[in-house]
Amino acid sequence: VQLVESGGGLVQAGKSLKLSCVASGFERDDWAVGWFRQAPGMERERVACIGQRIRNTHYEDSVKGRFTISLDDSENIIYLQMSDLRPRDAATYFCAADPVPVCYDRFTADDFVHWGRGTQVTVSE
């Protein structure tokens, strides 16, 4: 399984950015895919998760109402639409996948076995 993120960059506070994660090598149809982020000196924290089969989603409280995770099955792409970005959102964002059909509400980084290398998001004041 390979996951490749893109779409990061520098954006002003209050603006939007859309991240993409292209997935390949999946040998089954049921996956949970998550977005995580890690700022320098900080632990990796969860952002959002989606289950491929039933499209259930869960979000970290700090991004609810601002971020949206979605799947494009035909292209095997996972998106993270980020709106109203804040300096606190600046981090390296990682895409991750786990071979389970649903996203659990208490998902953590330890639940995911496959990871991309990340894409950097910087938010200026």
| Residue recorded with tokens 């649903």 | 102
Query: What is the tens place of the pLDDT at every residue in 93-122?
Result: 999 999 888 899 999 999 999 999 999 999
What's the whole-number mean pLDDT along residues 16-33?
88
Range with the largest mean pLDDT of 4-18, 22-36, 62-76: 4-18
Query: What is the tens place of the pLDDT at every residue in 51-99?
Result: 988 899 999 999 999 999 999 878 789 999 999 999 999 999 999 999 8
| Residue recorded with tokens 């040998």 | 27
Predicted local distance difference test score (pLDDT) of residue 73: 79
